A and B are shown apart, each in its own frame.
Chain A
Amino acid sequence: EVQLVESGGGLIQPGRSLRLSCAASGFIFNDFAMHWVRQAPGKGLEWVAGISWNGNDIGYVDSVKGRFIISRDNAKNSLFLQMNSLRSEDTAMYYCAKDWRSNYGALHIYGQGTMVTDSS
């Protein structure tokens, strides 16, 4: 069974940093692209960042470019999101998502999410 377990969420202070992690199991991790998707309270889904199976293709939504860094460790079946210069508008549930294919196709399986909340 495919499982994605996010961790690292918590209270944030504007300007500070946070690192999210996603532990994957139940599939061949290095065969698939991986992504982070977020959902602000009461709002819709927003794709945040994505990385291809080998890390060669990386993309970000405009609002996080220059602040967030996505990375993966295929040896440890793990996905990460380094979040710097945090803003109150980054408050959201952050989901780790497995792609349907190695580079892109569709967001297939989601974890249960980790909440990032502005402390102010």
Chain B
Amino acid sequence: QSALTQPRSVSGSPGQSVTISCTGTSSDVGGYNYVSWSQQYPGKAPRLIIYDVSKRPSGVPDRFSGSKSGNTASLTISGLQAEDEADYYCCSYAGTYSFYVFGTGTKVTVL
């Protein structure tokens, strides 16, 4: 049950694109198509923005997109906006008795 590995921080200017990686193992990210991403503002509860690797819940802007290759998943934010400045966490299903494992978290800064 080791945490998935994410970069500590990424940054970009408004309108640019940023990509956050999430690296796990064949027991989690690589073994299931149940990778999700959540956004969290300071002092607030997390909000799901991507599930099943690349699907968006209703109400989430289409500038958020997800993908996966092998043991690494990615979240791309296109057309970066000031309101996207937040912490982002990946999460993967990890089996019947482990359920889920989170990533280490990435702080996105809009320059």
Flag if A105 contacts B52 (CB, 8 Å).
Answer: yes
Question: Which of A44, A95, A113 is the most central at the interface, judged by chain B CB atoms within 10 Å of its CB?
Answer: A44
* Residues of chain B from 16 to 75 with CB closer than 8 A to chain A in the complex: 34, 36, 38, 40, 45-48, 51-52, 57
Question: Which of B51, B89, B98, B100 is the most central at the interface, judged by chain A CB atoms within 10 Å of its CB?
Answer: B100
Q: How far is the CB of A102 from chain B (nearest CB, A)?
A: 13
Flag if A107 contacts B45 (CB, 8 Å).
Answer: no
Given contacts A108-B48, A110-B46, contact A45 B89 (CB under 8 A): yes
Given contacts A44-B89, A45-B102, A46-B102, contact A104 B3 (CB under 8 A): no
Given contacts A95-B46, A105-B52, A106-B91, contact A59 B102 (CB under 8 A): no
Flag if A35 contacts B99 (CB, 8 Å).
Answer: yes
Q: How far is the CB of B22 from chain A (nearest CB, A)?
A: 12
User: Which of A58, A60, A110 is close to B45, meaning CB atoms less than 8 Å apart?
Assistant: A110
* Residues of chain A from 51 to 75 with CB closer than 8 A to chain B in the complex: 57-62
Instruction: Please report A residues at the B interface, Cβ cutoff 8 Å.
Output: 35, 37, 44-47, 50, 57-62, 95, 100, 104-113
